[in-house]
Amino acid sequence: MEEGKNPLKIRTAVFLGILISLLFCCLFPTSTVSQVPLHEKIVLKGFDGSPLTTDSKLPYSPKRTCGACHDYDQITKGYHFQQGRTDGTGKIVVSDTFAPKSSWNLSSGMYGKH
Q: What's the DSSP call for residue 43?
A: -
Q: How far apart are CA 52 and CA 43, in angstroms?
A: 7
Q: How far apart are CA 71 and CA 64, in angstroms?
A: 11
Rg of the chain, C-alpha, whole Å: 27
In tens digits, the chain (114 residues) has pLDDT values of: 556 677 788 888 888 888 888 887 777 766 666 667 788 889 999 999 999 999 999 999 989 999 989 999 888 888 777 777 787 788 887 777 877 887 777 777 766 665
